[in-house]
Chain A
Amino acid sequence: MPNLFENQAINNFYDAALQRDFARTNLFRVLNINSGATNVNFGPEDLIYVTTTTLPQRSINNVPVPFMGLNFNVPGTVKYPNSEAWNVTFRMPQDLGIRQKLEQWSRGTFNEQGITGSSGAYNLGDTGTVELALMGKGGQPIAQYYLYGAYCANIGEYALDITASGEIVTQPVTIAYSYWSSTLA
């Protein structure tokens, strides 16, 4: 084995950093959230209010195969951890337009206040999609992610406080989806 400093020394790190730079937590945009059948669409004027979110996870189920006391770990099928709860947080505009769209989306999925009992428009085929993008410093898209079968699972708490100094309200939202794909794979 060669000396490890041959290609992993400080100067190698410096050269690589100059060439490749680093990904940054703020270099992302939510490009699209559409609700599917209820036709609630979040436009650029809404999505620019997104403050935080995460890239979705993907994992391979592990199948332990015990043999003489030792577990051999065999790769199984796929699952999407936390696909029932992908979180995104919005700043809230004063016209509450984002809140209004979220409530429309949620009630479009199931509404206990239907004219005759409850009404629910949504089947899986009526659900929407979410599109995320990671970008470089120049704004160029590097990877895009698509979440399929999305519906608004939870409109989070909208915190109010009359004693506070007027901070901007943020609105956490939980979206459930079935699976995702990306342009990287």
Chain B
Amino acid sequence: MAVSSYEYFFQVLGNWGSSIPLEGQWFVYFDLQSVEALKGDVGNAIKNYDDYANWQISPGVTSSLKNALYNPPMEKLVGCVFARSVVLPGETINTSNNAVNYGGYLGPSTSSNREGYNKLSITFTETNASFIDFIIRPWVILVGYNGLIARNMNSPKNIRCKSINIIQLAKAGKKQSSMAKRKMMTFYNAAPVSLEDSNLTYAADGLNYNKIDFVYDYYDVKEVDSPKFFQNIVTQPSVNTTSPTTTRSLNSGTNGNSGNGTSGSIPGSSIPTIKVKTPSYKTDNPTPQ
């Protein structure tokens, strides 16, 4: 029995590696203990620079808010409970089509430079003991006073967070009951540089959010649990670029026939072979006629 594109897609979705992750399953973890400037009385830390300001944030509150990270986050899968959304930065390479243009022909694409890092944006939910105003706001101000200069991480003026980790989760399937950590994005030596304006209103009850932008030195992406779950994924289908026709077959069947029909298995549940005709094209520059 021939297997349609839809049946094939259904099978692909059924494999852990190619199934669809859920957007809302993530958490963010700050290594806030590495920010020396946030230890102790942050109000006094600001007062050192600004005599007129009278910040009053007790170290106990600061410590309690930082402990809301619910350690150890990688095991508890919670992280910073005040984070509501994250905008992960993208990547851009500047390109152009530089060449001598002639008639309708355009030059091939060429690249110039990689654009600088976009800021990491995290939106936080306002709470009674405000994580935004008792931790983030003084942190932004101290970044301004202390500066983003090269400094020992142990310096009391260090305002850089050693790492901000965004861990994205996935359903693990039958292998384990807890969610699987499918990947982790880590931003190194990060510091907040902007806190957006807040708007208070007498309108209907609702939550209050603030977006904070972080700068960082560099980032990387790691697979965490993925290798453990990746074993049973459909292997890449072999692609035959010479066949003039497009056929899909399963269970080593040929000519689009189904597999061996082994009882107890979903028909056509093994790895399909896809033969795709790829249009040929010349890569050398066309000659105008």
A residues in contact (CB < 8 Å) with B: 63, 65, 67-68, 70, 72, 74, 76-77
Contact between chains at A74 and B13 (CB < 8 Å): yes
Bound Cα distance A96, B28 (Å) = 51
Name the prevailing secondary structure of the A interface residues.
strand
A-B contact pairs, 21 of them (CB 8 A): A63-B20, A63-B22, A65-B13, A65-B20, A67-B5, A67-B6, A67-B9, A68-B5, A68-B6, A68-B9, A70-B6, A72-B9, A72-B10, A72-B13, A74-B13, A74-B19, A74-B20, A76-B22, A77-B22, A77-B24, A77-B25
Residue of B nearest to A75 (CB): B171
Bound Cα distance A72, B13 (Å) = 9
Q: How far apart are B8's CB and chain A's nearest CB, in angstroms? A: 10
Interface residues on B, range: 10 to 19
Bound Cα distance A67, B11 (Å) = 13
Q: Which residues of B contact A74 (CB under 8 A)?
A: 13, 19-20
Bound Cα distance A70, B6 (Å) = 8
Q: Which residues of B contact A72 (CB under 8 A)?
A: 9-10, 13
Q: Which residues of B contact A67 (CB under 8 A)?
A: 5-6, 9
Bound Cα distance A77, B170 (Å) = 11
A-B contact sample (9 more), CB < 8 A, given A72-B13, A74-B19, A77-B22: A63-B20, A65-B13, A68-B5, A68-B6, A68-B9, A72-B10, A74-B13, A76-B22, A77-B24
B residues 26-56 touching A (CB-CB < 8 Å)? none
B residues 217-236 touching A (CB-CB < 8 Å)? none
Bound Cα distance A63, B20 (Å) = 9
Q: How far apart are B68's CB and chain A's nearest CB, in angstroms? A: 14
Residue of B nearest to A110 (CB): B205
Residue of A nearest to B6 (CB): A70
4 smallest A-B Cβ distances: which pairs? Answer: A67-B9, A74-B20, A76-B22, A70-B6
Residue of A nearest to B8 (CB): A67
Q: How far apart are A135's CB and chain B's nearest CB, in angstroms? A: 31
Q: How far apart are A79's CB and chain B's nearest CB, in angstroms? A: 11
Bound Cα distance A63, B13 (Å) = 12
